[in-house]
Structure formats: C-alpha cells, structure tokens
Amino acid sequence: MFKLLLKYYLPLNLLFDVFTSTLWESNASSASIRGAILTVIILIAWLKEPNNKIYTPFIFYTIYILLMLPFASDLMESLRLSSKVLLTIWTFPVFYVYSHLYTNKVIIRNILLLSIILIVNYVFSTIYGIGSSAYTDSGEFLVGSLSDSWLTYAFILFLYIIIFKTKNVNISVKIFYLILFTLLVVQLLLGLKRTAIIVFFLGIIIYLFLEKLSFKSIITYVLGFISVLFLLNQYSDVLDTRIYARGDRIEGKYKDIIESEYRYLESIYVWEKTFSFENISESLFGLEAFNSRGNYGTGNLFGDRFLHVDYNIIVNTTGLVGLFFYFYIFYYIFNRYKERKIFLDYKYRELFLVIFITQFFASIGGQMLSVTYGSIKFIFMAIALNKLDDN
C-alpha cells in the first residue's frame, strides 16, 4: 500500500485539488486531513532510510523553519503555510531514494492519469458550471477549483518529453498522447495566465536547444503545432472574449504593464525593507514563516493579500538567511546533476534541465504554496537524476 501511494502520489494530490471546493469545501479541516496524510507518507519514507545523506540540507532547512515558528505573529497560519512548503520540498529526497519505483511504465501511467484528470475536470466543470472564470462571467471555459493552477498544467506538459522520446512506445500510442498534449496546451493558452504560458514556451525553447532533432521528432512537433492551432481556432470566440477581458494586463507598453502590477510594487517594498536593516532580526530571519498576509507595505497599502512572488515571500517571512537556505537546496540538487549527468538517460537530462531552469521563472508567478505544482517539479527532478543510460 505504501509503495502504491508513492507511485501515484501526484495523481492523488491532483484529485484532491479537483475535489476541493466541489465535492467538499475548501477549509482548514480538509487541508489538515490532506496535510496529515502527506506528512505520514513522507515520514514513513524518511524513517526507512534516515541516514541517507540526501536528506541533510532538507533537515537543516526544516529545523530553521521550525525555529522561526514561535516568533510568528499568527502561529497557526505560519504552521499551515510552512507545512505546505516543507511537504513539497521534502518530496525531492524521498522520491530520490524511492525513484526505483518509477519505471518508464509507471511514469507514463502517471502522465496519463494527470492528463485525464485535467481534461475530465475541464469537461465536467464547463458542462455543469463548476467554478468561475478569472476574467469573464462566461461559463464557456471553466476548470473548477483549478482556476489558479496553470503552472501545474505547464509542468505536466513538460513530462511529455519522456513519452515522445521513449523509443519502444509505438506510433499509435504516441499519437494518442499527442492528442492529450494538444488538449492540455489549448487549455493552458485559454487560461491566459502569463507566467504559466511564458514558462511553458521557455521550457520548449530550452528543450529544443538541448534536443537532438530527428526527422520523426520534427514531424511530431509540426503535427502538435498544427493541432494546437486547429483547436484554438475552434475556441476563437472564447479566446477573443478572454483576451478582451484581460486586455489591461496583456496590451500596452511593457513598462506600463509591469509598473502597474502588484508584484512589481510589492517587490519594491519588500526588498527595500529587507536591505534597509531597520530591524536586523526581521531582515535576517523574517520571523513570520511564510505568512506574508498583512506583513508588508505601509498603511495597509496591500491589504491582507499574500505576496505574489515566491522570492518575496521567502525573504519577507524567513529573511535573508531563509533565502540562502532555499537557494542552497537548488545548488545542492544541481550539484547532484553535475555529478551524475554523464550517466543519465539523455531524455531525463533534458527533463531535469527544463524543470530546473523554468521553475526559477515560475517562482515569479508565486505558486510555492501549491503542493501539487511544487511536488511535480521536485519529484521529477529527483526521478530524472536516477534514470541511468542503458547504453
């Protein structure tokens, strides 16, 4: 049972996201149940090999966050948010140790399940009017409780690198997955979340830069591109409506758009305060453990909004020391990659680099409190580092 939960950890998390606010209410009780289940899974996995060195930086980061909790102005809120971040980050060492469970067959099955969940969720949400549109009052394009989960879409799409590059997957199966891929890309584009779309196309650019193109792969990519254009044309009215509603955020001078963004304005306040060292303890340690609500700006300028940008959240609530620990984790992960890259299956090297690089840009969109999105990137970086080349 434990191994089964590890194998399908991501589809189960995504299902929980889908059912939140639909089958059950989004509240502290449902989130606590989910958190408790995930904590038990992570703890069991760690206790089976507690002395594995891969856990070391994650243990230090956890200790640091736990030491900050008693200083938080709202202990329970900081505990809730810290648990989300820590559970997400800890998936890397756990799935690094248990990566052997993720055979190619299990990985492809996970991609299939994740894709089907997203597509079925869209169909049912749109038919039954579940959720709301972020930009219009129309019910023509709804994704239920996933209306702010577009980075989850983008990073699930990156996983298709494995399917398209696996040689023993026959052409009919690849065509089936190409259809799924196309449907998800269209949903992502219709979502019109700029950060997610930019991250997705950045991932494609990185992949094509790394890719050893063959005639077959070129044909596959051309077919995919044509399919996306064809489907987008079918949704042209929906797309036009959403673009019009979103116009103030995607049209005009880039400088004006950026300067009108809350994330731009909040960044100025957060970093000026941090580097002013007016309160040295806050600059160094933050003392709020991921709870940025109402803890930045002056005169209630931003109200009770959470900070948008992940780096702003980290430095504002865990200080410069917390930011150092956070970046050290990625330094540690990349060092693992450098040590192992010559032994890795090339498609997993591509996947690792696509995820590793794009997630830094994705953090501008501020999704570090999303357990599913964060777990996807950490789990598949961990798995990729253990997929050795058979040749």
For residue 308, the model assigns a pLDDT of 85
Q: Assess whether pLDDT exceeds 80 at residue 253.
A: no
Report, as an integer, the average pLDDT of 71-86: 92
Answer yes or no: is 322 within a domain: yes
Q: How many CB atoms lie within 10 A of CB 83?
A: 19
For residue 337, the model assigns a pLDDT of 96
The residues, ordered by sequence, that sit 6+ positions from 173 with a Cβ below 8 Å of its Cβ are none
Report, as an integer, the average pLDDT of 234-256: 61
For residue 150, the model assigns a pLDDT of 93
List the one residue out of 163, 179, 147 whose CA is nearest residue 111: 163
What proportions of the chain, in percent to the nearest 5, are helix, strand and coil? 75, 0, 25
For residue 183, the model assigns a pLDDT of 93
pLDDT digits (tens, 9 = 90+) for 134-156: 666 667 788 888 988 999 999 99
CA distance 22 to 290: 27
Answer yes or no: is 278 within a domain: yes
Q: How confident is the model at residue 254 (pLDDT cuts 50, 70, 90)?
A: very low
Answer yes or no: is 304 within a domain: yes
Answer yes or no: is 218 within a domain: no
Q: How many CB atoms lie within 10 A of CB 371?
A: 22
Answer yes or no: is 297 within a domain: yes
pLDDT digits (tens, 9 = 90+) for 1-16: 788 989 999 999 999 9
* HSE toward the beta carbon, residue 24, CA cutoff 13 A: 12
Tokens of 385: 């580092």
Q: Number of H helices and number of E strands within the chain?
A: 20, 0
Q: Which residue has the higher pLDDT, 108 or 34?
A: 108
For residue 126, how far is the Cα from the chain centroid? 24
| Residue 305 DSSP class | P
CA distance 77 to 81: 6
Answer yes or no: is 172 within a domain: no
0.85 exceeded by pTM: yes
Domain range holding 64? Answer: 52-89+264-343
Answer yes or no: is 318 within a domain: yes
Answer yes or no: is 253 within a domain: no
CA distance 292 to 295: 5
pLDDT digits (tens, 9 = 90+) for 324-375: 999 999 999 999 999 999 999 999 999 999 999 999 999 988 888 899 999 9
Q: Assess whether pLDDT exceeds 70 at residue 26.
A: no
Contact 116, 124 (CB under 8 A): no
CA distance 243 to 364: 22
Q: How many domains does the chain have?
A: 1
Partner residues linked to 24 by β-bridges:
20
257 SS3 class: helix
Q: How confident is the model at residue 60 (pLDDT cuts 50, 70, 90)?
A: very high
